[in-house]
């Protein structure tokens, strides 16, 4: 915090561009050794660090409209790193990094109490109900930078933290202490065929994300860009994933409003 160089990595997803194709989901699974089962149609036990939800405007044919919204871990900062999940983990198995703003998960420390899952309003945390099993031979594609998780622990999106580490190692070897914007990008950002995801340091004015979102430090990073919003802004979770939409109903679907409350960003 006192360190001026502290990063605050975040993501902004342009929902006008997002086509709901699902490439981000698979890029994430491939990058992070996410396991799969024969039947994944029960979405309540299907591990998808990145999950694309479908929103609808609730109107009837032909006024009906849909919009896709990818939901990674929001890497909530809460107040001073007091994110909903980090504060509740009894075994310090998940942590908020003040250096990067990334909420980490230490699989070997986690003993599977699932309190963090209860705490997360975004359902971004997933439990390994089963031992991960890859069909014979398929374990060959597993990425050595991310350890496969054992049964009985919680996992979630890490903003591809291993990529940050690798980029930092490389920079260090080259005698640099700072990363270029494109040196550290998440797998989903890289894969998105629509280029709908922008990832970078919210604290760095040179980064695209900062320019797009224009976070307001006086209001815990609330976006000044009127097209931008965050999910469940009113809870005070202070997420670092922002969304852009030109459609009013989409922005409104990002949070809860009482019937009499008008549009906009709540209080």
Of 6, 104, 115, 168, the one binding other proteins by CB under 8 A: 115
Q: Does 213 bind other proteins (CB under 8 A)?
A: no
Q: Which is nearer to other proteins, 61 or 217 (CB)?
A: 61
Q: Choose, by CB under 8 A, the member of 70, 72, 101, 132 that binds other proteins.
A: 132
The verdict on 131 binding other proteins (CB under 8 A) reads yes
Give, as ranges, the residues between 14 and 43 that touch other proteins (CB under 8 A): 14, 16-17, 19-23, 25-27, 29-31, 33, 36, 38-43
Residue number with CB closer to other proteins (102 or 244): 244
Instruction: Please report whether residue 92 would count as binding other proteins according to CB under 8 A.
Output: yes
Please write down the HEC assignment for all residues of the chain: CCCCCCCCEEEEEECCCCCCCCHHHHHHHHHCCCCCCCCCCCHHHCCCCCEEEEEECCCCCCCCCEEEEEECCCCCCEECCECCCCCCCCCCCEEECCCCCCEEECCCCCCCCCHHHHHCCCCCCEECCCCCCCCCCHHHHCCCCCCCCCCCCEECCCCCHHHHHHHHHHHHHCCCCCCCHHHCCCHHHHHCCCCCEEEEECCCCCCHHHHHHCEEHHHCCEECCCCEECCCHHHCCCCCEEEECCCHHHHHCCCCCCCCCCCCCCC
**Cβ(6)–Cβ(170) below 8 Å:** no
> Does the footprint of other proteins cover residue 258 (CB under 8 A)?
yes
**Part in contact with other proteins (CB under 8 A); list of ranges 157-165, 199-207, 215-223, 232-240:** 232-240
Positions in 72-91 near other proteins (CB under 8 A): 78, 84, 87-91
Segment contacting other proteins by CB under 8 A, of 5-13, 60-68, 173-181, 208-216 = 60-68
Rounded Cα distance between 50 and 11, Å, is 13
Does position 68 interact with other proteins (CB under 8 A)? The reply is: yes
CB of 6 to other proteins, least distance (A): 18
| 206 touching other proteins, by CB under 8 A | no
| Region from 2-10, 96-104, 133-141, 207-215 binding other proteins, contact rule CB under 8 A | 133-141
CB 67 to other proteins: min, Å: 7
């Amino acid at each position: 915090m006192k360190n001026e160089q502290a990063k605050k990595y975040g993501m902004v997803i342009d929902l006008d561009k997002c086509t709901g194709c699902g490439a981000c989901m698979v890029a994430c699974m491939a990058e992070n050794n996410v396991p799969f089962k024969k039947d994944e149609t029960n979405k309540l036990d299907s591990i998808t660090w990145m999950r694309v939800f479908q929103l609808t405007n609730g109107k009837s044919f032909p006024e009906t409209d849909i919009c896709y919204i990818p939901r990674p871990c929001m890497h909530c900062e809460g107040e001073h790193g007091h994110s909903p999940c980090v504060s509740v983990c009894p075994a310090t198995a998940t942590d908020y990094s003040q250096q990067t703003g990334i909420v980490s998960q230490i699989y070997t420390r986690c003993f599977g109490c699932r309190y963090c899952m209860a705490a997360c309003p975004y359902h971004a945390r997933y439990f390994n109900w089963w031992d991960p099993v890859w069909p014979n031979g398929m374990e060959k594609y597993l990425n050595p930078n991310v350890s496969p998780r054992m049964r009985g622990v919680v996992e979630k999106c890490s903003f591809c933290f291993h990529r940050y580490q690798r980029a930092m190692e490389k920079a260090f070897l080259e005698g640099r202490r700072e990363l270029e914007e494109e040196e550290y990008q998440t797998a989903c950002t890289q894969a998105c065929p629509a280029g709908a995801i922008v990832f970078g340091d919210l604290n760095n004015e040179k980064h695209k994300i900062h320019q797009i979102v224009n976070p307001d430090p006086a209001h815990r990073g609330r976006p000044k860009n009127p097209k931008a919003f965050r999910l469940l802004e009113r809870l005070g979770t202070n997420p670092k994933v922002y969304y852009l939409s030109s459609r009013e109903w989409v922005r409104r679907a990002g949070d809860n409003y009482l019937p009499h409350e008008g549009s906009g960003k709540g209080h």
